[in-house]
Amino acid sequence: FAFSAVTHAGQASDWHARGFDGYIAKPVSLAELEHALHGVSLQPDVDAARSTPASSDSPADIVPAADRERYRALLREHLQTDEPKLAGILLSRNTQALGQWAHRCAGAFLIVGATTIVKLCRAVERLCDDGNEWSPLLETEAGALQAAVHDFRASPDQPEETSTT
């Protein structure tokens, strides 16, 4: 298995092409790891093991609700320092730092089921990867990401999202 914080769509096939039986997005709970490992065939049938990805973009399938709530609380606590960092990055218009922030945080939001924020992180990361210049589109997407992160942190009773498309 590959362990990665990368959360781009199609990642499972990328890892399979590199010879891994599956991947697990970081951070990972013991329950998720156990679930993924139970999905691995002990038989040497590599093709069968590769036909089913070990992880999906929906943590609701494998992370118990109590764990998701604990992760959400931990993420809100972490955002007390990380949200101001995002604000500083936006003020400085540092595309490299913004891309790194979005990449790093997408996995955490994926684990807690905040799919709208994951999509925003991915969009911002792609825009930062496409070039080093700050653009009006990047400004808009980064502003939407900042607002969504703020709303997530400010709303402890925010319902989970279920769509990942």
Domain identity same for 51 and 71: no
pLDDT at 157: 63
Does some domain include residue 36? yes
Scanning the chain, the segments in alpha helix (DSSP H) are: 11-17, 30-38, 46-50, 65-92, 95-111, 115-130, 136-154
Residue 56 main-chain phi, psi, to 5 deg: -120, 180
Does some domain include residue 106? yes
Full pLDDT tens readout for the chain, 165 residues: 666 665 555 555 666 666 666 667 776 666 777 777 766 655 444 444 344 444 444 555 556 777 788 889 999 999 999 999 999 999 999 999 999 999 999 988 988 889 999 999 999 999 998 776 899 999 999 999 999 999 999 987 655 554 444
Residue 12 main-chain phi, psi, to 5 deg: -60, -45
Domain identity same for 147 and 71: yes
CA 41 – CA 76 distance, rounded (Å): 37
Domain identity same for 17 and 47: yes
Domain identity same for 130 and 150: yes
pLDDT at 11: 58
pLDDT at 68: 83
pTM of full prediction above 0.75:
no
Domain boundaries, position 95: 65-154
CA 145 – CA 129 distance, rounded (Å): 16
Tokens representing residue 94 in the block: 């540092």
Does some domain include residue 72? yes
pLDDT at 21: 67
pLDDT at 122: 94
Number of domains, the chain: 2
Domain identity same for 105 and 146: yes
pLDDT at 6: 58
pLDDT at 70: 86
CA 24 – CA 30 distance, rounded (Å): 11
Peptide bond into 159 cis (omega under 30): no
Q: CATH number of the domain at 93, please.
A: 1.20.120
Domain identity same for 146 and 70: yes
